[in-house]
């Protein structure tokens, strides 16, 4: 949905700047809405889709397009065109907000509330720690949701990708801005001297190749998301490659550049395009080939014997109806490799599953064994899998209070075990020891949980006492549905 939202921003931008016809942009946005409706139907009425921002923004854009007519923001005055652009853009966002509010009034679901809470916390508008927001703290403490590492730009520069990208980005931004402003000026002065002259090469290039302007605007949105949140780097990097390729080997761009020095023959553009492409590729190979060869020499088949032992034991020693609980990442592997029901799942866009995850993660908190046992039995858990890498994870000075046990403690209102510099004014000392530590040997815990498997990485405990059939059936249905 975020990808489609950023795509919708780019489509609206090229329409508002009169680089692409309203008819074509309207058709693309209708396709977007139709695809989202189809996804909603195929996902059995997933309420997250109609409540999404992309649906509201696209519908608002279509409303503004209908009010504009085919002429768009065209005006006889240059300055009126600029004012209309700003006014129409503001109208789109206001209408989108209104549509989103109306949809949420009818679709009473909070499946996406964690997304808005995360954005507010990311922008510093709220404090997830003070609010004890478990979901937001998981996001904020995940390295993939932090900012882009500083060495990223250095590595992109060493590969010659960033210089070519920046050259194309700056150049195309300037060409797009000049083309749009000059086009508006000519439309507002139809009788001027400039209107009688031949169109400028820059104007002709952008008008003939609106895809260049579209990708330029699109990469700005992706770049902003990647810089603020590392997870979105996978969206930005392909666009870096696209614009770098444009800077090096795009025929229209080379023809325009060579026309500056009076080389207007078609063959000149083709020769320049291919020579630059081959030279760029050869230089990249020369600079990066030794490092790539070294990486390939060190490449080995990934093999994790502890995880393999875990999966084999589950398949051989447990019944197909036994439900497992563990970390979200591990449960995805258990479900895939063994087919056993799982009581929590990494599909974090479902509010019920988010609440379930917060409950079962009490095995890494400091609740009483009776409380943890009651939680696990109530959701039909047969076995719990504890990971020592989580239970005994060391503190990281770069990200204080970001261990999973620390997050669980904060959300439970408990003071942290070790000082981290985090504000603990409203936290109180815990009355119990950490569950994942004590369950190994303390008799109060071993009466409720039995050790059935253990290796260097994982520990499996059987939850003693049979859960009610209704709860077990509900757990199995939820697990299979996930």
Instruction: Lowest mean pLDDT of 185-199, 315-329, 344-358, 360-374, name the range.
Output: 185-199
Q: Is 72's pLDDT higher than 80?
A: no
- At residue 224, the pLDDT reads 92
pLDDT score for 475: 45
Q: What is the C-alpha end-to-end distance of the chain, expressed in Å?
A: 20
Model pLDDT, residue 73: 67
Q: Give the percent of the chain with pLDDT over 90.
A: 32
pLDDT value at residue 476: 45
* Residue with the two structure tokens 């990442």: 329
Q: What is the pLDDT of residue 223?
A: 92
pLDDT in the model for residue 141: 85
Give me the pLDDT at residue 423, please.
Answer: 62
**Higher per-residue confidence, 239 vs 198:** 239
pLDDT band per the 50, 70, 90 thresholds, residue 197: very low
Q: Which pLDDT score is estimated for 472?
A: 46
Please indicate whether residue 433 or residue 203 has the higher confidence score (pLDDT). Answer: 433
Predicted confidence band at 416 (pLDDT cuts at 50, 70, 90)? confident
Categorize the per-residue pLDDT at 198 as very low, low, confident or very high, splitting at 50, 70 and 90: very low
Confidence of residue 109 (pLDDT cuts 50, 70, 90): low
Summarize pLDDT for 326-363 with one digit per residue, the tens: 998 899 899 999 999 999 877 766 778 888 888 999 99
pLDDT at residue 112, rounded to an integer? 65
pLDDT of residue 3: 87
* Proportion of the chain above pLDDT 70, given as a percent: 87
| Of 40-54, 161-175, 379-393, minimum mean pLDDT range | 40-54
Say whether pLDDT at 270 is over 60. Answer: yes
Q: What is the mean pLDDT of the chain?
A: 83
Please give the pLDDT value at position 179. Answer: 86
């Amino acid at each position: 949905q975020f990808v489609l939202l950023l795509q919708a921003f780019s489509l609206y931008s090229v329409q508002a700047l009169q680089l692409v016809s309203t008819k074509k942009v309207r058709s693309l946005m209708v396709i977007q809405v139709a695809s989202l409706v189809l996804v909603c139907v195929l996902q059995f009425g997933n309420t997250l889709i109609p409540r999404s921002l992309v649906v509201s923004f696209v519908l608002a854009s279509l409303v503004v397009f209908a009010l504009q007519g085919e002429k768009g923001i065209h005006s006889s005055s240059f300055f009126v065109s600029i004012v209309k652009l700003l006014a129409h853009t503001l109208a789109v966002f206001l209408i989108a907000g209104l549509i989103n509010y109306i949809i949420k009034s009818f679709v009473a679901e909070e499946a996406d509330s964690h997304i808005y809470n995360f954005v507010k916390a990311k922008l510093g508008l709220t404090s997830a720690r003070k609010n004890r927001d478990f979901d937001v703290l998981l996001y904020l403490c995940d390295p993939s949701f932090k900012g882009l590492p500083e060495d990223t730009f250095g590595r992109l520069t060493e590969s010659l990708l960033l210089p070519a990208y920046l050259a194309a980005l700056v150049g195309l931004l300037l060409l797009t801005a000049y083309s749009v402003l000059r086009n508006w000026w000519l439309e507002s002065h139809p009788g001027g001297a400039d209107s009688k002259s031949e169109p400028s090469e820059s104007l002709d290039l952008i008008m003939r190749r609106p895809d260049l302007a579209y990708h330029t605007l699109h990469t700005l949105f992706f770049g902003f998301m990647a810089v603020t949140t590392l997870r979105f780097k996978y969206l930005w990097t392909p666009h870096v490659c696209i614009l770098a390729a444009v800077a090096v080997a795009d025929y229209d761009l080379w023809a325009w550049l060579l026309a500056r020095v009076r080389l207007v023959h078609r063959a000149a553009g083709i020769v320049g395009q291919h020579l630059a492409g081959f030279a760029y590729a050869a230089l990249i190979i020369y600079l990066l080939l030794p490092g790539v060869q070294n990486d390939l020499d060190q490449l080995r088949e990934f093999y994790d014997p502890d995880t393999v032992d875990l999966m084999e034991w589950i398949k051989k020693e447990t019944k197909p109806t036994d439900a497992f609980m563990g970390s979200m990442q591990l449960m995805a592997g258990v479900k895939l490799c063994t087919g056993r029901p799982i009581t929590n799942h990494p599909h974090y866009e479902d509010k019920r599953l988010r609440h379930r995850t917060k409950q079962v993660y009490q095995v890494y908190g400091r609740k009483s064994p009776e409380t943890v046992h009651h939680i696990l039995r109530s959701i039909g858990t047969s076995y719990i899998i504890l990971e020592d890498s989580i239970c005994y994870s060391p503190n990281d000075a770069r990200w204080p209070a970001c261990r999973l046990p620390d997050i669980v403690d904060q959300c439970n209102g408990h003071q942290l075990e070790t000082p981290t510099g985090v504000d603990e004014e409203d936290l109180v000392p815990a009355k119990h020891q950490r569950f994942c530590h004590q369950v190994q040997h303390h008799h109060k815990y071993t009466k409720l949980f039995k050790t059935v498997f253990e290796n260097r990485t994982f520990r499996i405990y059987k939850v003693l006492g049979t859960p009610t059939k209704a709860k077990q059936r509900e757990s199995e249905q939820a697990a299979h549905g996930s």
